[in-house]
Structure 1
Amino acid sequence: MDVDPVLVPLEAVQRKNADLPVRVASAVVMLLIAGTAFWAGGLVLDLFVAVVAFGVFVEYVLLVSKIADSPARLGPMVIAGAVYIGWAGLALAVMPDVMMLVVLGLVIFTDTGAYFTGRSLGGPKIAPKISPSKTWSGLLGGMAAAGIWAALVVLSASYLLSAIGPTGPSLAATLDTANVGMATLAGAVLAVFAQAGDFYESWLKRRAGVKDSSRLIPGHGGLFDRVDGLLPVAIIAGTAWAATQAVG
């Protein structure tokens, strides 16, 4: 029996839409859990980061166990994953809560900018064998969105500092002291690393022959799927912050 080619993508869209309520409900639950951890702060937030990092590491080990063909190859991959994920988790745990929110916002802006720009403009793929949906236009859109986020953060912080100063809040003083250009550049560069983290996990899943890192989160896959872009950004931002504290 012949299949109408128009019905195939239509059925795919219908299946995706049918999954939407589950995805929304899972997203709400994730936001509530994360929001509660941030509200509590302190030890609760540190434990939350540790639990998520451990869950990501477990999913990473499950992925590489499908890739490695011998214990001799599996061992170094597990160690590398422990360093990569553990470093990111430690970086998030030691940085101030406000900085953690800034880092999370940057990754969210990157993903959002890349998604909508890539979907709107399309164009050449970056690495179709690893991640077929990622385009160069999406990468540039993600960099632009992350740059805007970083610039807004710096402007807001500078304005708040001027507000508690002797002269009171001043937009002119804010624009004079805020290095918006450097902040925008830093945000754009970090967006590249966020996308690299996404590609790295996609490469692991491709080699392991799986679609998601796990089925832990209904409609969203696993923890690794949710934080793949966050890991390298957390390492860079957290390490840079720790270095400035050590020097200071």
Structure 2
Amino acid sequence: MAGADRPDPGADGPSVPVPFWLRNADLPKRALTALVMLVVSGTALWLGGMAWTVFVLIIGIGVWFEWSTLVLQFKAPGISRNWWRSAGAIYCGIASAILIQVRQEPAGIALVLLIVGAVIGTDVGAYFMGRALGGPKIAPRISPSKTWAGLLGGVIGATLVIWIVLANAGRILAAAPDAQITAVSIAASPVELIGMGLAVAVVAQAGDFFESWMKRSAGVKDSGKLLPGHGGLFDRVDGLLSVLVVFGTIFIIARLSTLS
């Protein structure tokens, strides 16, 4: 979720500049909610095993529930709501399974931090740069708050997180309670880092746009109200879902091709 959707100030009249501090009036609430989410998810990730599995399944089921609620509110005629609900179960199920499996890998905790951290970096970078700079919108009919400046901020945020995690992967793995690898060195050139950041940011933003389209089809602003300042669970992990499904599928296909 690269910044919550909000009404386009130019939709009903001339655009009026809004001070940066006013556009971020909800920041304290968002920050507090993010801190709670970080503590809960971080603890589950650190413990791994059943704690992580149960946590991911709870989030996955919650997202699917919000997905189904949106589908039931779709206003366009001729939409097969049962088909959409089934598609949501598959979408959330694949993402959850990938996230659980990745944590079980020898370098699992670092890999999860890399994936989730890069998506969070995308969200944070897009949120602040998009609101600070504004500028041309990517697809105003779908999501009037998403700008090209925000996408650039997302690429920068994702790239920075990837660089930090890769640079500290050895320390992260050595400190993990279920460490299977205690020494690792991962190097990436600046071009490779930017390429990874760009890929994650674009796919995450695509997931964000997809959820925005679903909300517009349902005529709602947020997928839920569970997370103060963030909306629902789906609002929070829309980009992560698309990243997990896209890159997880690519990884599975690549692994299967090596076995054939």
User: TM-score, normalising length from structure 2?
Assistant: 0.75
Per-residue CA distance 1:163-202 (angstroms, 9 max, x = gap)? xxxxxx9xxxx79x53442232022112101001111111
Contact 1:154–1:180 (8 Å) recurs in 2: no
Answer yes or no: is 1:48 the counterpart of 2:58.
Answer: no
User: What is the alpha-carbon distance in structure 2 between the residues aligned to residue 20 and residue 137 of structure 1?
Assistant: 19
User: What is the alpha-carbon distance in structure 2 between the residues aligned to residue 39 and residue 148 of structure 1?
Assistant: 22
Match of 1:31 among 33, 38, 47: 38
Answer yes or no: is 1:224 the counterpart of 2:237.
Answer: no
Measured after TM superposition, the shift of residue 152 of structure 1 is 3.9
Contact 1:155–1:180 (8 Å) recurs in 2: no
Match of 1:206 among 210, 216, 220: 216
Q: Which amino acid aligns with 1:89?
A: S
Answer yes or no: is 1:79 the counterpart of 2:102.
Answer: no
Distance 1:43 1:241, change over 3 A: farther
More helix per residue: 1
User: What is the alpha-carbon distance in structure 1 between the residues aligned to residue 77 and residue 221 of structure 2?
Assistant: 23
Structure with the greater alpha carbon radius of gyration: 1
Per-residue CA distance 1:72-118 (angstroms, 9 max, x = gap)? 71121112111211111111111022211111110111112112222
Match of 2:156 among 127, 144, 154: 144
Q: How many residues align?
A: 225
Contact 2:110–2:165 (8 Å) recurs in 1: no
Q: Percent identity?
A: 46
What residue is the counterpart of 2:145 in the other structure?
Answer: 133
Q: Which has the higher contact order (CA 8 A, sep 6+)?
A: 2
What residue is the counterpart of 1:116 in the other structure?
Answer: 128
Distance 1:105 1:20, change over 3 A: closer
User: TM-score, normalising length from structure 1?
Assistant: 0.78
Answer yes or no: is 1:89 the counterpart of 2:96.
Answer: yes
What value does the CA root-mean-square deviation take over the aligned residues?
A: 3.1
Measured after TM superposition, the shift of residue 144 of structure 1 is 2.7
User: What is the alpha-carbon distance in structure 1 between the residues aligned to residue 170 and residue 37 of structure 2?
Assistant: 32
Contact 1:125–1:134 (8 Å) recurs in 2: yes
What residue is the counterpart of 1:236 in the other structure?
Answer: 246
Gaps of 5+ in 2: 1-17, 103-107, 174-182
Contact 1:68–1:74 (8 Å) recurs in 2: no
What residue is the counterpart of 1:105 in the other structure?
Answer: 117
User: What is the alpha-carbon distance in structure 1 between the residues aligned to residue 154 and residue 32 of structure 2?
Assistant: 26
Q: Secondary structure at the match of 1:228?
A: helix
Per-residue CA distance 1:109-129 (angstroms, 9 max, x = gap)? 111211222223221111112
Distance 1:210 1:240, change over 3 A: same
Q: Secondary structure at the match of 2:73?
A: helix
Q: How does 1:142-181 map to 2 (within 5 A)?
A: 142-157=154-169, 178-181=188-191
Measured after TM superposition, the shift of residue 13 of structure 1 is 4.5
Measured after TM superposition, the shift of residue 159 of structure 1 is 10
